[in-house]
Chain A
Amino acid sequence: MSGHISPKTTYYGIFGALMVLTAITVGVAFVNLGALNFPVAITIALMKATLVVLFFMHVKYSSRLTKLIVSGAFFFLFVMLALTLTDYASRGWHVGPRGTAAAGTSLSTGTDPVPRPVGTAPAVPAEDAAGETPASER
């Protein structure tokens, strides 16, 4: 069959790269980059996933039709996440049910453990966490 046969060294090299990237993502997580911690972690995860898809899953050597399907999957996942988040993350006034911080301000926590006042929040989304038992109100 016409399948591409990669040399073993390719697989060992990709595995080594994945291990290095794992070490970097753990190490960088302990460095306080503020709001940048999240994008850095996601970027490294995307790099790792790309290496797996291209080399372990042989997409680099696949037909153009397969490549189209694969990129289509991630494109539409991106559309779902990005378009939804443009709505939620761009509303600076928005606070989730009993939320502690306004959306879009920061994905990383500050040093202030005191919840910010939420009394001015004008709206609560329909799918709020009303079903949650208020065990924390003690």
Chain B
Amino acid sequence: MPRLPNGLATHAEHVHGHHPALQHHFETLEQQHEASTLGMWIFLVTEVMFFGGLFLAYMLYRIWYPQAWSEGSLELDIVLGGVNTVVLIGSSLTMALAVRAAQTGQQRATVNWLLVTMALGLTFLVIKFFEYEHKFELNHVPGPNFVFEGPHADQVQIFISLYFAMTGLHALHMIIGFGILSTVAWMAHKGRFSPAWYTPVEMSGLYWHFVDIVWIFLFPLLYLVDRAHQLS
């Protein structure tokens, strides 16, 4: 049987007698979907370890410099961080609804939910941009121009370095995810997906949810280190 390129036809039924998205080395779409899911998760495992190194660095320095972690964390805007948490978890909800719409064959709803997800992702990035900009205004950016009043300025600089490294890497993932979602939204708009085959929607969803999970940990680790100290 000749190998067919992916996604040439718009319908589940095809003159060749099998789904056009089914690649020749798989028996069935179910098997292909299972392989895709497994492959995507193995990629996400590498991502877990990728971010894991930064989390380990964070933990070690936090144990060494608890005072600096407290001071540095209080410099972050908890309102902006909290709003971004709500925005990103909201985008995970809309992503899950996009996958559901694709599963049930609702093409318009798939496109719309994907666009809402992208809009929320963009909102997150814009808020992050203003947070970064504020850090630059205060010279709270690691490097030769770093300025911080207090006895632990060096150590606060390490905290803020990790803040930029972790949120920057996370933001990079958001930007990549935005690109992936725009491609998938375009494919959905073109009617490439059906209840029989919607794998790209689901795989991009897995990626998006993973980025959400990273933020779920970053938010308390960076913004909520010692808020009780703020009140006293």
Q: Interface on A for B, CB 8 Å cutoff?
A: 1-3, 5-6, 8, 11-12, 14-15, 18-19, 22, 25-26, 29-33, 37, 41-42, 44-45, 48-49, 52-53, 55-58, 62-63, 65-66, 69-70, 72-74, 76-77, 80-81, 84-85, 88-89, 95-101, 103-104, 106-109, 111, 113, 115, 129, 132-136
Contact = CB atoms under 8 A, between A and B. Distances in A.
Q: Which 5 A-B pairs have the closest CB atoms?
A: A96-B64, A32-B228, A136-B153, A29-B224, A41-B220
A53 to B, nearest CB: 7
A66 B38 contact: yes
B67 A8 contact: no
Nearest to A47: B216
Interface stretch (B53-61, B124-132, B166-174, B182-190): B53-61
B110 interface: no
Contacts of B52: 77, 80-81
Given A56-B96, A57-B206, A89-B63, A37 B226 contact: yes
Nearest to A127: B60
Contact of A52 (B38, B157, B213): B213
Given A56-B209, A69-B38, 18 more contacts: A6-B100, A19-B86, A22-B89, A29-B227, A32-B228, A37-B228, A48-B213, A49-B213, A52-B92, A53-B209, A57-B205, A58-B202, A70-B45, A77-B48, A95-B64, A97-B64, A100-B66, A100-B67
B153 to A, nearest CB: 4
B89 A18 contact: yes
A3 B66 contact: no
Given A62-B37, A88-B63, A29 B45 contact: no
Chain B's interface size range is 35 or more
A85 B59 CA distance: 8
Contacts of B33: 1-3
Given A18-B89, A32-B232, A69-B38, A84 B67 contact: no
Given A2-B30, A72-B45, A101-B67, A132 B154 contact: yes
Nearest to B34: A63
B153 A8 contact: no
30 contacts: A1-B30, A1-B103, A1-B195, A1-B197, A3-B33, A3-B198, A5-B103, A6-B96, A6-B100, A15-B89, A15-B93, A18-B92, A30-B227, A33-B228, A45-B217, A45-B220, A52-B92, A53-B213, A58-B202, A73-B49, A80-B49, A85-B59, A95-B64, A96-B61, A109-B67, A109-B70, A129-B154, A135-B147, A135-B153, A136-B150
